Chains A and B, each alone.
Chain A
Amino acid sequence: MSQGQYVALAYGVVLVFVLLWVAIIAAKLSRLERETGELAALARERSVDG
């Protein structure tokens, strides 16, 4: 590998890490959205029953 390729690899690794972190946070956000929806449905059921 040339010196320039090592530089590209180092900067690429940083970019991949940040993108991976964004993907993990996006997955977490989807889970939170789903759980919030479930809780909202549960609260609606309670209010109808009550």
Chain B
Amino acid sequence: MSSRNNLPLLAFATTAVLGIAVVLALLVAPEDVDQGVSQRIFYFHVPIALTAYLCFGLGAWKALRLLWVGGERRDFESYTWIHQGTIFGALTLITGSIWAKASWGVWWSWGSNQLVLFLVLFLFYCAYFMLRFSVDEGARRERICAVYALFGVALIPVSFFAIRLASDFIHPTVFTREGPQMTGTMFGSFLVCWVGITLLAYVMYRIELVGKRTDANLRELREALS
């Protein structure tokens, strides 16, 4: 089966994996001794955050390829990955905020470096869309957006490692040098959730990309016919 035709199959597989992931996260994984039931937010919050980083990273990679090799399709790909990144970034902030309220009693903590740096990363990529829609379509816009997307990628490791670098005592660190600080069932559930969320991001990316390409093809066709 060609990669162009496997999208429906991939979408069904994603639905199945996400269904299993929800069951594992809510019913199978044991309850955390310290945080109780609110820890179950972790199974979706952390994979969503990791997926947001991945999407921004892939957006930057496509931007680099655009500057290196060129090609309009890479601009679409970079734009679509960054769009996915902002969707998953918004979800990270919202689910994180709900978890914070359940665990710490506050919706947000400006004292937590990881939260603030993730917000900076998210707002940086939100500004990408303002930039994109303020420049006329064409090769110039493609290059400007690619350079902007590449600058943003520098914020990803800063945001990711902030908690370890800044001795943040509020935001929990689950993955340390000694490995994941959880039981095998918890870690297995987390991995299934991570696979499910990553697949969801990829399916959404593919569907959006088809839409954007079709849109561009229709515009060309309209110009040719008019």
Is there an interface contact between A14 and B48, defined as CB atoms closer than 8 Å? yes
A residues within 8 A CB of B215?
A: 28, 32
Q: A29 vs B211: C-alpha distance in the bound complex, in angstroms?
A: 8
- Number of chain B residues close to chain A: CB under 8 A: 30
With contacts A13-B91, A32-B215 known, is A25 near B208, CB below 8 A?
yes
- Give residues in B with beta carbon < 8 Å to A: 22, 26, 36-38, 40-41, 44-45, 48, 87, 90-91, 94-95, 98-99, 101-102, 200, 204, 207-208, 211, 214-215, 218, 221-222, 225
With contacts A3-B36, A6-B101, A39-B225 known, is A11 near B211, CB below 8 A?
no
- Name the residue of chain A whose CB is nearest to the CB of B102: A6
A residues within 8 A CB of B200?
A: 18
With contacts A3-B37, A25-B207, A46-B225 known, is A11 near B87, CB below 8 A?
no
**What is the number of contacts between chain A and chain B, taking CB atoms within 8 Å?**
64
Is there an interface contact between B38 and A6, defined as CB atoms closer than 8 Å? yes
Is there an interface contact between B91 and A32, defined as CB atoms closer than 8 Å? no
- Name the residue of chain B whose CB is nearest to the CB of A28: B211
> A1-31 interface mask toward B, CB cutoff 8 Å, 1 = contact, 0 = none?
1011011011101100110010001001100
Interface of A is mostly: helix
Is there an interface contact between A3 and B102, defined as CB atoms closer than 8 Å? yes
A residues within 8 A CB of B222?
A: 35, 39
B residues within 8 A CB of A14?
A: 44, 48, 91, 95
A residues within 8 A CB of B44?
A: 10-11, 14
Expressed in whole angstroms, the minimum distance between the Cβ of A28 and any Cβ of chain B is 5
List 11 A-B residue pairs with CB atoms under 8 Å apart, sorted by A's residue number. Answer: A1-B102, A7-B26, A7-B40, A11-B44, A13-B95, A21-B204, A25-B207, A28-B215, A32-B214, A32-B215, A32-B218
Is there an interface contact between B37 and A4, defined as CB atoms closer than 8 Å? yes
Expressed in whole angstroms, the minimum distance between the Cβ of B218 and any Cβ of chain A is 5
B residues within 8 A CB of A35?
A: 218, 222
A6-B102, A14-B91, A46-B225 known; 4 new pairs, CB 8 Å cut-off, are A6-B38, A10-B99, A11-B26, A25-B211
